[in-house]
Structures are given as structure tokens and as C-alpha cells.
Structure 1
């Protein structure tokens, strides 16, 4: 379905959702299907967020519109410190905060009359794809289903040893020291060319990230340098055997940021996991990229099968 066609089938409004920190609100978009009428009730709800250093302006509206047109309620949000959400210092990655923000939005949605509190679906991409897999193992969340595309599931691809990698590592250490004495954060580029200083420097990362932008100025390309050390201690697959709901993984076979081998491992760990494999690299599943339509179709099929709107 084209964007222009789907736009006729949903209503979009803005939300400000209180986060766990008083005074810090999460900026969100709410999508409701027009077919549900002016006062919908009991819609299954899809909660969505983007990957590391990205924000909801970077293509998430395309997915949300498509899902709403099928009959789902959708809430798309930015994490604290990112996008249009509150929080300082800006552009700092804390995995624990991002997981908590997902839980906060789920709780908020369950309290809204237009949504069915017993039909909650999480959607995540890249780093958020790991978040939703992690949350799928939390029995107390009582999730109905999870969709995770090009997910980070632990053991990120490591850049080869180079002067750029050494500089990146040292900058990460300095950021830890700076923040310990209240001087941080120390920033570096989120994406950079191979051999450069940055969080993601595998071949194609710079071109891929900027290739999914729909307009200039929506991606700051900066992150606290110590975000580098969030990866070794974050392993969504560690609790994969405890997944409590159906999970659909849309995974790129030649992904050089989030290795496909981790997808295969998760599928072995849980019978709840279904995998749809596509060729190509990490960024090829996003709107405007070669495998967006195929990935989106697989996600829709899964949702309609596992959590039909009516």
C-alpha cells in the first residue's frame, strides 16, 4: 500500500507521555484507523521505537501508517534524550532507560480506552529490535506478539583494529572519566566511514544511515562515546529461552552490524520465534530501500495471523 493510500485510512495525533523521570515526557505519535470510527474501543496496540541514535522521524511513520490502515492502533515514541522527547544530557544511550521507556509506553497504552490492554504488540528495529526481544521474555509484561527487524541480539560486529578504532576506544574511556567527575558527556559521531572515529563504522553504515533520512536536519549523528561499552554487556539472546509470546524476526542475511548468526541462535533457543530472511545488508529493510516491501509484507502477514484486528 502506498503512503498516499494509507494516509486516507488513519488519523494521526501527537502525544506527550510522562516518563519515569518527573518532568521528562516522551514525544509520541498515535495512529488510529479511520475505519474504527470517531471513538474506537478495544484496538490491538502496536508500540514502536527506532534503533540506536535514530528517532521516529527516520521512517517509522511509514510503518505506523501501514499498520493503522490494517486496523491496528499504533503508538510511535522517541526515547528520553532523543528525538523530540525530553531529557538531558542529549544523545546519550542507556539501555536500561530505553527498556524502561518501552515499559512506560506499554503501561500508558493499556490505560487508554481505545486500546485493548490484553492485545499489546511491540515493534523494534536494529537496537530496538533487541529491546523488544528482551521484553518478550518478561512474563509480567504479558505481551501478545513482537516484531523485530534487523535486530541487535548481542555480539555486535567489531571493527578491525585500526587507528580509528583505537581513537574510538580511548574516547569512550575518556567519556566515562568525564561523566564520573561531572564534565561529560564527550561526544563522537554515531556513524562514520570505515577506519574513522564513531560508534558504527562497518562498511556501508554511514551511507545506510543517511540513506534512510527523508529530510535534512533530522539526524544529529552524535552519541556519547561511552555508548561503545553498552554493546558488550547487552545480550538480548541471553533470555531468549524465556520468550512468552510469538516473535517475528525479519533479518538481513548479509547484515554486517547485527550478525545473522545471532538470529539463527535465537530461533534455536525458542520455539516462539519465526524468521523471515531477506538478502542484503542492515539498512535495506527501511522505507525506500530494496527489501522494505518484502519485510513489511512479512510483518503484516504475521500480525494478521497472530493478532487479527477484529
Structure 2
């Protein structure tokens, strides 16, 4: 297995940085899996574990990168870091596909996409609109920003968020700095983007081990509520789809994901894990999860169905 530090430009000339993994068992031009992380998360936060597992068990390559404005990747000139514009991240996935297709190690006709949590929603959209994609792996996805937001945020807290959104828009229009909110907070009565106990445990543990920062712009939360990545899920077909859902997920609720999966067309595969959202990344369910994803990749990306 090899890992190389890489960087590439997006269509609007922003530099994204990450890792390119190669397999010792690959010969000639190999399939490639483009992998992006979820809401404010960085590539060091278990994406390396999945990429290493895939290239150790399959003759494929993996491109793992930090989303713009996070980790090692740049933000657009004049734009703040720690801001997520969902459709821009979707566009960046397509730009990552373009970069991967130009690599001499990669078969450009065999590129798949892998996303988790927020990017688990992104890949549903990109898999529908970017027909270069030959396999879609969506893990514990956010499928509806509106429904997800209103599951996470109490109605009385939503009123406060609405006022914050309006004030932030006025401040930005006046040329002031954007507002920020914590991603997580130990106190559930304080505003945060991801107000669940398991989110707080996961992110604060990683805060001590990598350059993750507990902040995102107010605009990020407003755009999250307006984002509906499931809108074209029926259009992914005939590209194969694997959706991994955690039964005990309270961050991206499992019933919402199951509803979206039911609307997807064949070929599709469902993996249900008996755990919570973040347990899909590591721990006792990792081998089961990554193993199922590996078999899916072998069938549809390596062997071609």
C-alpha cells in the first residue's frame, strides 16, 4: 500500500489537499474511489482507515481529501474558512473525479464515490448528475436538511436560529465578518450545529488529535436546513448504490434515510448496522461495515457488475 500527499484545483481554482492511496495488488490502470467527509470533519477522522482497508483488500486506488475551508484545503479567496455551501461541496466532488481521472494509475471509466454523513447526502446528488460515477457508497447519510434540522433543533430554539440567520445576513451585507456557532457543545441548552451527545463526544475527542476546529459559520447552518440531497435519488440508477444506515442513528435519523432508500431504483443494496451514527466509523462494527462496502466495490467497481 502506498499513500501520497496530493493537491488539485477545483473549477473555481480553489486548491484542495488530501491523500492518494494505491494498492500493492493493482496492476495497470486501476479503479478509483473518491472519498469525502461529513459536516466539518477532516480526512484524518477515520477516512484513512476506510481507504487503507479498501486498498489492502482490493486492487483499487482511493482519493481522500479535505473539503474546502477545512483541514489542509484552502477556502475561496475572500470567503471564510469553516463554511459549508452544500452544492459547492457537491461540485468539488465532481472536480475530484476529474482530477482522479487524469492520474496515470486510474482507469477513468471506473470511478466511484464514497461519502459519509453530510457527504453521504452529497454523493446521492452527485451520483445522479455526474454520469462518470460508476458506484455510489452513501454511509449514515443526511438525506433531508429540513427534516434533519427539525429533528435536531427544538421549535423554540429554531426561533432563535431564525433571528440569528436574519442578523447574519444583514451583517454580511454591511461588509461585516460572518457570524459563527459551535459545531458541538456540552450543554444541550446552548446553540450548536450538531446538538447530540454522541456528536459532542466524537468531535471533542478528535479535537485533541488533529486540527479540527469547533466552529462553523451561521450561514452553514442556514444552508444545511435548506439542503435536500435526496431530491434526485431516483436518478442514480442504473449506477449501483450502497446505502449504509445505522439503526440507532440520532444525528441523521435512520427512518429518513430508509425513506430515501425506498425511493431509489435498482441496482441498490442496503446495509443496516445495529449501532449509532459514529459507531459506523470505528470500533466493533468497522470490520462488518468496511467488509460489506469492499464486497460491493469488488462487484460493481472492480469486476464491473
- TM more than 0.5: yes
Distance 2:236 2:189 in 1: 38
Alignment partner for residue 40 of structure 2, among 40, 53, 58? 53
Partner of 1:7: none
Task: Give, in angstroms, the shift of residue 20 of structure 1.
Answer: 2.1
Cα distance, 1:168 vs. partner? 4.1
Question: Please, which of 245, 266, 269 is the counterpart of residue 271 of structure 1?
Answer: 266
Task: Please give the per-residue CA displacement for 1:68-116, whole angstroms capped at 9, x wherever unaligned.
Answer: 1122100001121111011141101101210111010101111222101
Residues 211-222 of structure 1 aligned to structure 2 (within 5 Å): 211=205, 213=206, 215-222=208-215
| Contiguous gaps of at least 5 residues in structure 1 | 1-9
Structure 2 spans left out of the alignment, 5+ residues: none
Aligned partner of residue 110 in structure 2, secondary structure: strand
2-structure distance, mates of 1:15, 1:55:
15
1:299–1:214: structure 2 CA closer, same or farther, 3 Å change rule?
Answer: farther
SS in 1 for 2:80: coil
Higher helix share: 2
Q: Deviations over 1:209-235 (max 9, x none)?
A: 334x28534210100012122223211
Normalising by structure 1, report the TM-score: 0.88
Please tell me whether the aligned partners of residues 43 and 309 of structure 1 are also in contact (alpha carbons under 8 angstroms).
Answer: no
In the alignment, which residue of structure 1 is the partner of 2:179?
186
The answer to whether the Cα contact below 8 Å between 2:207 and 2:213 also exists between their aligned partners in 1 is no
User: What's the secondary structure of 1:197's corresponding residue?
Assistant: coil
Q: Deviations over 1:116-169 (max 9, x none)?
A: 11101100000000000111111x432110111111111212322455x55444
CA distance in 2, matches of 1:204, 1:34: 37
C-alpha distance in 2 between matches for 1:31 and 1:214: 25
Number of aligned residue pairs = 293
Alignment RMSD, CA only? Answer: 1.9
Q: Counterpart of 1:41?
A: 28
TM-score, normalised with respect to structure 2: 0.90
